[in-house]
A and B are shown apart, each in its own frame.
Chain A
């Protein structure tokens, strides 16, 4: 997928994070949401761009998703 797609996915995860920021455990909530509703390809596309440009909660959540995927693959 293209950079344009990654940009859109970054917007989506930031939007999800903004809406879950008041949850008791926002990072876990965002990560759970991504795993439940995004295809692996969407997740990989965003992770390939890196998480540094994401909002803090979104970035942490994507790192958590990345770790879980690595653990699962391992």
Chain B
């Protein structure tokens, strides 16, 4: 589509079962009761002048431009605050109104620069539009009086500027920060003529304030006061394309606003059903990595990792790779080969990678990065409910009365959904947070958790069982729901187990480290507080009992009857943009798309008929098993698309040893990442801006990804995989990802009704989309569980084998920060580094004092696996005995210290519990220095000596 501003109906949509009909300038319109005159007028195609109103903010009634006349009513009411009534006759354009509006506009313009032609918002400015709409021709007051025209701009934020000389004090930015984002960083300081927008204290700039750079204020601003630096530099966009963000599992949709092949800005799409017009700093602003100078655009090969890389043609790279794959298969057998599907790439790309491994390499040795994040979700929810997915859509939170957030930090990891949660919490929903760390959600403006249970890392199952103990023994179980929807015998077996004294809060309190009465209070609140919704993240899954914890969560939802309707449910917050999709696409070694086990002959027959090759009926190796088999000399080649296992996977030294033992490591990525230090083939990848496809977000929503520019490397990632498949002898001839989706739909019952035409027409679809649910499934398990009866599973607390002791007395847990994403490959190549230049170690004041540490000191972080150094920050966010860090920077290599303990059911690594010791340090360890030297050597490119080498 060409460039035009997104439609704005002035005031928010109102939901009502009652309809009212009124007449606006003679045009009759029927709207839900409670709708404003302004919105009703916009719905008829009219446009009442406005400045302070916009339809994602509550009406404010301050600009006095939207006045109307209504038959039978005195005066000229503001249309933004006047609801329509049956039979109302409204006049929006009369001589009286024109005079009033012109007078108002005259006052605004008397204190506004008249530099429209050179203004960056020229022809894209609401103030300019409204001045035209009211017919302003002159300003009688002159421009010599007191004004704000000389106010200095604040250019501190890396992505947008604040120019107060252009501010009309409409408060849209302040209200957007309050209502949309929920940070409340902005305010109007002073009164009357002195009123001005301020980011916190007068001494604060936007950068030093609490502003989280979500961009809501920038989108809300009707002038050039708050504007993207990129618009100032490049100019107004000339076209826009709707696409889906490639960062977290929320799956925000954006309008990529373009000038030629250059992105001018990414603006959250108001019709996006996942984000409802909101965004975070990553999706809104941090897309510059796509053009980063360190992107590798030429294929490269080398026989040995000691050699420098050699740039070659695509043809040579692919034929070399195919020869190596065939050689290794002939020498060691097909099970010496394998691959990893990326949770960052599209569904279609993931499907092709697993198809290449199964049908081309002839093995089920395929896995995905979900192995190290949400594989326990797959196991746990499939076991209890019958399918591996969250039960709700994001809108569901609007009907939640109690939110239980466990092992998730949504304000940092899933910020756009966190804003939705905060909006509901500010309206009165209750909040229980179970987390070792005091996350921002625990206490933020107008929000305070009713219970924060700061458990010891590794005791999730204990605390969930204790909660269940209270619910069952105090008679709070929803027996009617359980009898109707669940297996009653299994429930009784489980209820007997949780009721045992050894599962009471009082008995388990010393283990959990939380007061028993607080556990009882939280249990009572969750069971009796109305609609209860559980949200969880990697703090649940990345444990030795990750799968048990997921099942304990499912038990808790079933015992309280919180499944199958809006406002309730079990909601895994997915880490990466397409974790859900990668899992759906059959990326796990034991199952084909749609979560069907490879041992199922009927399913295999379906694929064998479509693909024309036999499928191995036995499960393949998981990522950690592949690395183990490699160090044992049995696994020799791997194709890794879009994942950096050397930085993201646990026990770095073990990963290095596994990669080093392979004869052909093929990395398909944007940058020479850490894993590429051990690679023999590098295939350049494409960004989400350069490809067509779909991502599936945490609410099972399949959304289009659209190409807005040609791939700098020459090919979309699905094309690269197709060429590799052809090189190894497969006759693939896809011409567009829509054909891959058609194949997915043919082979996957839950995707049966999905195709590109429908996605284009409807914007998104939530699986299952099939004959039973032709329009998709916003809420799952409505009339019954996918597996039939819900299954209660006994989850006995088994302490991790990773124990603290005299040598390693502290527990390390890891997480992420708002401005960075995963291993930082993308966000570290943007201006986001200004907020997080390095990983820091959070340590409690008591533990810091015992070690003579203060904030900013270098510390050595040591575990049984290894040691690294980083700087400390002393904070009571973490409890005594617990330390915390992020893993966004390769210089830190936090995974050097994590162990190879893993979830019992899925081998998801136990990132969240490592026994460590912290001691003062002078700087990097010898290991870190050796690692850096090896990384530098391995990134040499023949012919580029002396040039700036691409580096992580």
Contact = CB atoms under 8 A, between A and B. Distances in A.
Interface of A: 1-2, 4-5, 8, 12, 15-16, 18-19, 21-24, 33, 35-42
Given A2-B632, A5-B632, A22-B794, A40 B904 contact: no
A1 B545 contact: no
B905 A16 contact: yes
B493 interface: yes
A12 B900 CA distance: 11
Nearest to A20: B904
A12 B901 CA distance: 10
Contacts of A15: 544, 798, 904
A5 B590 CA distance: 21
A64 to B, nearest CB: 16
Contact of A19 (B497, B589, B904): B904
Q: Is the interface of A mostly helix, strand, loop or mixed?
A: helix
B599 A36 contact: yes
A1 B796 contact: no
Interface string B792-829: 00101010000000000000000000000000000000
Contacts of A19: 545, 547-548, 796, 798, 904-905
B161 to A, nearest CB: 54
Contacts of A35: 599
B634 A1 contact: yes
Contacts of A40: 618
Given A16-B905, A19-B905, A39 B625 contact: yes
Given A36-B619, A39-B619, A39-B625, A1 B632 contact: yes
Contacts of B619: 36-39
Contacts of A42: 621, 625
A33 B625 contact: no
B904 A41 contact: no
A18 B798 contact: yes
Interface string B877-907: 0000000000000000000000000001111
Contact of A36 (B548, B597, B620): B597
B342 interface: no
Contacts of B796: 19, 21-22
Contacts of A1: 629, 632, 634
Contacts of A4: 632
Interface of B: 335, 493, 497, 544-545, 547-548, 589-590, 597, 599, 618-622, 625, 628-629, 632, 634, 794, 796, 798, 904-907
Given A22-B497, A38-B619, 15 more contacts: A1-B632, A4-B632, A5-B629, A5-B632, A15-B798, A15-B904, A18-B904, A19-B545, A19-B798, A22-B794, A22-B796, A24-B493, A36-B599, A37-B622, A39-B335
B335 A41 contact: yes
B618 A8 contact: no
Contact of B794 (A23, A36, A38, A41): A23
Contacts of A22: 497, 794, 796
Contacts of A5: 628-629, 632
A14 to B, nearest CB: 9
A37 B335 contact: no
Contacts of B634: 1, 41
24 contacts: A2-B632, A4-B632, A5-B628, A5-B629, A12-B904, A12-B907, A15-B544, A16-B904, A19-B547, A19-B548, A19-B905, A21-B796, A22-B497, A22-B794, A22-B796, A23-B794, A36-B599, A37-B622, A37-B905, A38-B619, A39-B589, A39-B620, A39-B625, A41-B629
Q: Is the interface of B mostly helix, strand, loop or mixed?
A: loop
Q: Which of A15, A18, A39 has most chain B Cβ within 10 Å?
A: A39
B904 A8 contact: no
Contacts of B907: 12
A18 B497 CA distance: 16
A8 B628 contact: yes
A37 to B, nearest CB: 6
The 5 A-B residue pairs whose C-beta atoms are closest, nearest first, are A22-B794, A15-B904, A19-B904, A1-B632, A22-B796
Contacts of A8: 628
A43 B339 CA distance: 21
Contacts of A41: 335, 629, 634
Contacts of B794: 22-23
Nearest to A23: B794
A16 B545 CA distance: 10
Contacts of B544: 15
Contacts of B547: 19
Nearest to A40: B618
A37 B375 CA distance: 12
Given A1-B634, A2-B632, A39-B619, A33 B493 contact: no
Nearest to A41: B335
B599 A39 contact: no
Contacts of B906: 37
Nearest to A43: B618
Contacts of A39: 335, 589, 618-621, 625
Contacts of A36: 590, 597, 599, 619
A15 B597 CA distance: 23
Contacts of B625: 39, 42
A4 B545 CA distance: 24
A33 B798 contact: no
Q: Which of B335, B493, B548, B904 has most chain A Cβ within 10 Å?
A: B904
B634 to A, nearest CB: 6
A46 B618 CA distance: 17
A50 B620 CA distance: 23
A1 B631 CA distance: 9
A33 B548 CA distance: 14
Nearest to B497: A22
Contacts of A16: 904-905
A18 B545 CA distance: 11
A22 B497 CA distance: 9
A4 B632 CA distance: 9
Contact of A37 (B493, B497, B545, B590): B590
A43 to B, nearest CB: 9
A19 B335 CA distance: 30
A41 B620 CA distance: 10
Nearest to A4: B632
Q: Which of B597, B620, B794 has most chain A Cβ within 10 Å?
A: B794
Nearest to A11: B801
Nearest to B493: A24
Nearest to A21: B796
A43 B590 CA distance: 15
A5 B497 CA distance: 35
A45 B369 CA distance: 26
B352 to A, nearest CB: 23
Contacts of B618: 39-40
A22 B555 CA distance: 15
A67 to B, nearest CB: 17
B622 to A, nearest CB: 8
Contacts of B798: 15, 18-19
A24 B798 CA distance: 18
A57 B906 CA distance: 19
A35 B628 CA distance: 19
Contacts of B545: 19
A15 to B, nearest CB: 4
A15 B547 CA distance: 13
